Amino acid sequence: MLKIGIVGAGRIGKVHTQSICNYVRNAKIKTIADPFMSEETAKWAKSLGVQNTTKDYKEILNDPEIGAVLICSSTDTHAKISVEAINAGKHVFCEKPIDHDVARIQEVIDALKGKKVKYQVGFNRRFDHNFEAVHEAVKAGKIGSPEIIKITSRDPEPPSPEYVKVSGGMFLDMTIHDFDMARFLVDSDVEEVYVQSAVLVDPAIGEAGDVDTAIITMKMANGALAVIDNCRRSSYGYDQRAEVFGSKGMAGIKNDAVSNCQIATDDGVTAEKPMFFFLERYMQAYSKEITSFVDAVVNDTPTPVNEYDGLQAVLIGLAAKKSAQEHRPVKVSEIENDK
């Protein structure tokens, strides 16, 4: 039984705690650490069977019984705690992104060299049943050679301006999932990015130095072209769709809803709206990604989303940010050469 320590008891830390306690076999949470650990959170953890809580994450790193660490703390701590955990000999699952700074991501990559520890980055959408089905169809050659990738990703509500200021911006916070998804769906890196962006949802987001709406085009290393459309607001729910068009056909997915029931009358045809919140849409994926991480540790197999994947998503995000600022196509290699 793999004993796990979780660093961070905020929203995503709670998601992973519930997931492991309720759905993940071969693993048990021993300790949860958070500098703002409260009596209420400690009580919540114990209700799920987690007896140990602390404000000091180093108690987890110094515990010889704990074999793996889930880093669910604030983004600015991910790389630092990753390096400390790796040096302590712990297997690491790190929520995305590893960092917004390429140099700090490189520190994590360097720390992993020569170490027999597993490292996985939390791009949970790869484990969603819908996206997996498209990936498998493309991998099996059912649509021939991929030529066009189309991804729609729209949040139901915009974040607060306060969150925007510390998030790294839309491309490193929201679109980073879509950059990873484009790579995942066709097993190819991104070579070049071009962005058209605007502030159409909330002027306060623009005042905070970010955008809330964007069309992103990308050239993939395998020759395919990709288009991502993003918006921070979707009045009808959490809009998550994807399509890969190829030389022999197309594989695509629609939104998940509470049900796929359609009602047809003489007034028209109606159906359920998409699920509203990302936890509703992706809870199963969160469980599956941790199961995959635990399996990699227990069976000594490669993690399905590693530090290279984490680095590439950030490089693409930084290229997109530069493209939006400079109004020109940006090669990912430009960002790599700057690091």
- Centroid of chain to Cα 35: 24
pLDDT (0 to 100) of residue 153? 97
Q: What Cα–Cα distance (Å) separates residue 186 from each residue in 35, 61, 213, 222?
A: 40, 37, 25, 9
Q: Phi and psi at residue 203, in whole multiples of 5°? A: -55, -30
Instruction: DSSP for 163-221, please give it.
Output: HHHHHT-HHHHTHHHHHHHHHHHHT--EEEEEEEEE--S-HHHHHTT--SEEEEEEEET
Using alpha carbons, select from 70, 108, 85, 43 the residue that is nearest to residue 311: 108
List, in order of start, the domains of the chain with CATH numbers. 2-117 (3.40.50.720), 126-283+312-338 (3.30.360.10)
Token duo for residue 302: 């490669």
Coil vs helix vs strand at 143: coil
pLDDT at 268: 92
Distance of alpha carbon 223 from alpha carbon 211, whole angstroms: 29
List the structure tokens of 296: 């990699």
| Cα separation, 339 vs 337, whole angstroms | 6
As to burial, measured by CB atoms within 10 angstroms (0-12 exposed, 13-18 middle, 19+ buried), residue 204 is: middle
For residue 262, the cross-strand partners are: 271
Give residue for tokens 């690491």: 92
Q: Tell me, what's the pLDDT at 339? A: 61
- Asked whether the beta carbons of 66 and 2 are under 8 A apart, the reply is no
| Contact predicate 85/71, CB 8 Å | yes
Strands of the chain, DSSP E: 2-7, 27-33, 52-54, 68-71, 91-95, 119-122, 146-154, 190-198, 213-220, 225-231, 239-246, 249-253, 262-265, 268-271, 330-331
What string of pLDDT tens digits covers the 339 residues of the chain? 999 999 999 999 999 999 999 999 899 999 999 999 999 999 999 999 999 999 999 999 999 999 999 999 999 999 999 999 999 999 999 999 999 999 999 999 999 999 999 999 999 999 999 999 999 999 999 999 999 999 999 999 999 999 999 999 999 999 999 999 999 999 999 999 999 999 999 999 999 999 999 999 999 999 999 999 999 999 999 999 999 999 999 999 998 888 888 889 899 998 888 877 776 778 899 999 999 999 999 999 999 999 999 999 999 999 999 999 999 999 999 999 886
Region label for 153, one of left (φ > 0), alpha (ψ between -120 and 50) or beta (otherwise): beta
Alpha-carbon gap, residue 211 to 205, rounded angstroms? 6
**Residue 282 to residue 163: CA distance in whole angstroms:** 22
With H, G, I as helix, E, B as strand and everything else as coil, classify residue 37: coil
Q: Which two tokens stand for residue 44?
A: 């919540």
What pLDDT, on the 0 to 100 scale, is given for residue 257?
83
**pLDDT at residue 260, rounded to an integer:** 80
Residues 6 or more apart from 266 whose CB is under 8 A from it?
A: none
Q: Which amino acid is at 244?
A: V
